[in-house]
Structure 1
């Protein structure tokens, strides 16, 4: 490829730490909470996952962009991250099936990316000091101005973001003649979740984040689903009200990630912001019911309180994260309800966790 002049760029963290790099293409400034993902592949899925809305993504893999992008390999219709920070950015790609380069993909979505950053040092800093707000910018001579702007960015703790990524109007997914009907609350839903439900003979109606139980019930579904999504689960009072109503009526309910946290809150179990979260495709989880281990994909910065979960009369812990023993899955003893804190549809195992979708369908059949 032709050599092109690239502007200097930087990432400035809320604690004042600065790392220098170069811009990929788009010039300007982008703000968000800085976090990192340890996956060695799947960058396109990461960048389009609504759960990452409002976050500046640092990729720990040294090379990003080497296999380009494919139009069907997206989890939403937009790049959801606020910006990208990487070590080596590949402007050319070597994948025959790719539709375009990652650079062209970012340009099409008007998103900022910077490279040539010491991401190893940056990730170590985040691991030691926690996830925090940050800014990436080509305005490298305006450090004090960037610091002032960064100080005004709201903290992720207490921030409601589901409304920013949820559908505005209900829509359908799958075959309308399918055997099962599912009402899904979109608080940041990934397309591959819908694909997995449709693959199991389900016709899904997807509702906006603030839909009421009556809206979901009007579809006359066989089961209810609460999706993944970004931000703090605590402000999602409408979603919690939906979960409570489904639970009270003992209807089949399945939640993933943010949906899992909403189900916990609906049961009076609190959530908390993690130090730097879980984001990657090799997180080890143990299924306490089967004793089996699962290699899982995770991307969350909040978790549910383990002590409160263990002390709850009607909730069992079904899965635990083996690195830090956080709660990775729960089920209700007296209700047709279960949820997990990871992504079975992402298939990093590759099929370690897809049984959860089958379990949901079985719960519907047995209701």
Structure 2
């Protein structure tokens, strides 16, 4: 076992090396954090958050704001997030800007050290927030270099480690990164989903008033929780829906017994094909029932699987709040928020699935609707937390489908 103990403070962005077994005097001086990739690449920096180590897939997010929403997005289960925006933590954290109670991300990689918060809404520093939630991070790293590495070579396995004493077993960390199986084939929805059925009654946030409370509901929506973000549930409540949240493992019979006017298939982490083993039969039963159905992200991917289509792992994924998507039905281009590492193979969609949205970055599928059922889905995140609100109309499109179907029943 080779231990490394730097002795002097590091300055500037960390340098990369590719010799995990080298002598201690060659280690980055003063480093208390290290990022080790599966190929043996090593990035030194300053540890932030909790001490310890975490292994996962290394990805990058290009959002300039909303780091707290990103870190609490359940879809980041199994991932270490590299933030391309350099100033992360400068506005602190609070109890309102969270998307789940317990973060599922493995850790984070930052360019600049976390500064003291400067914002009237800040309740505490990001540094303390990370520590209290057991999230390991590293700052002072050349995040542009890491982003290029992921862009050119795909998302690698990695370990991020933090030791205040500056002692690291690089050989063991490299072996840990190399031995991690990766997200392909992983069902992570069960790890972040609620285990009990519950009612959600919170609405959208507004300045000076906080989150609204649920008013009179005109419809009932059942949301299947594969890792649902809070702001999605708030957006459903804001269209006037009484929202019931059910676990990822709920069956079609259990969901339909709740007599929903609409069913929502949520976002979530992991491989859609793995989660689809139990989710696809449920989705097929819901679609066959004729209940209006709306899917986002993982829900979109598994809806495609339920139709006999295929999904595939992307090399680097889409993660950020600046992704242009074209709505083929209106011709409008929306700037969207995205977080996904798998994508629907558009060529595998059946004829009854009409493509409605496409990415203007790489041409991948961003949405479809069924021509014979009140069912549609999108790959991006219209709840805009964080991100632009260009796609928020999709919740109202869902509401319109519900009204039309309720009208036919009356």
Query: Same fold, TM exceeding 0.5?
Result: yes
Is 1:327 the counterpart of 2:365? The answer is: yes
Counterpart selection for 1:244 from 284, 288, 291: 284
Larger radius of gyration, structure 1 or 2? 2
Counterpart selection for 2:341 from 301, 311, 314: 301
User: 1:37 & 1:292 partners in 2: Cα distance?
Assistant: 25
8 A Cα contact 2:344 2:365, kept in partner: yes
Is 1:170 the counterpart of 2:170? The answer is: no
8 A Cα contact 2:337 2:388, kept in partner: no
Match of 1:149? 176
Q: Following TM superposition, by how much is the alpha carbon of 1:90 offset from its aligned partner in structure 2, in angstroms?
A: 2.3
After TM superposition, the structure 1 stretch with the greater mean CA deviation from structure 2, 87-96 or 5-14, is 5-14
Q: Following TM superposition, by how much is the alpha carbon of 1:78 offset from its aligned partner in structure 2, in angstroms?
A: 1.7
User: 1:247 & 1:214 partners in 2: Cα distance?
Assistant: 12
User: 2:256 & 2:295 partners in 1: Cα distance?
Assistant: 17
User: 2:130 & 2:387 partners in 1: Cα distance?
Assistant: 29
Q: Following TM superposition, by how much is the alpha carbon of 1:177 offset from its aligned partner in structure 2, in angstroms?
A: 4.8
User: 1:79 & 1:230 partners in 2: Cα distance?
Assistant: 12
User: 2:96 & 2:49 partners in 1: Cα distance?
Assistant: 24
Q: Following TM superposition, by how much is the alpha carbon of 1:350 offset from its aligned partner in structure 2, in angstroms?
A: 3.2
Match of 1:285? 325
Is 1:254 the counterpart of 2:278? The answer is: no
Instruction: Name the Cα RMSD after superposition.
Output: 1.6
User: 1:346 & 1:325 partners in 2: Cα distance?
Assistant: 22
Within a 5 Å distance, the mapping from 1:172-321 to structure 2 comes to 172-174=199-201, 175=214, 177-236=216-275, 237-309=277-349, 312-321=350-359
After TM superposition, the structure 1 stretch with the greater mean CA deviation from structure 2, 337-346 or 348-357, is 348-357
Q: Following TM superposition, by how much is the alpha carbon of 1:347 offset from its aligned partner in structure 2, in angstroms?
A: 6.0
Is 1:91 the counterpart of 2:131? The answer is: no
After TM superposition, the structure 1 stretch with the greater mean CA deviation from structure 2, 38-47 or 87-96, is 87-96
Local SS of the residue matching 2:361: coil
User: 2:168 & 2:285 partners in 1: Cα distance?
Assistant: 54
User: 2:388 & 2:51 partners in 1: Cα distance?
Assistant: 38
State TM-score, norm by structure 2.
0.86
Gaps of 5+ in 1: none
Counterpart selection for 1:41 from 47, 57, 65: 65
Local SS of the residue matching 2:271: coil
Match of 1:19? 43
Is 1:160 the counterpart of 2:184? The answer is: no
User: 2:113 & 2:92 partners in 1: Cα distance?
Assistant: 11
Gaps of 5+ in 2: 1-8, 11-29, 202-213, 406-410
Deviations 1:52-76 (A, max 9, x none): 0110000000111000011111000
Is 1:31 the counterpart of 2:63? The answer is: no
After TM superposition, the structure 1 stretch with the greater mean CA deviation from structure 2, 107-116 or 268-277, is 107-116
Distance 1:164 1:347, change over 3 A: closer
User: 2:215 & 2:392 partners in 1: Cα distance?
Assistant: 23
Q: Following TM superposition, by how much is the alpha carbon of 1:235 offset from its aligned partner in structure 2, in angstroms?
A: 1.3
8 A Cα contact 2:49 2:135, kept in partner: no
User: 2:86 & 2:388 partners in 1: Cα distance?
Assistant: 23
8 A Cα contact 1:19 1:122, kept in partner: no
Deviations 1:221-261 (A, max 9, x none): 10101000000000122211111011112210000000000
State TM-score, norm by structure 1.
0.95
Within a 5 Å distance, the mapping from 1:60-139 to structure 2 comes to 60-138=84-162
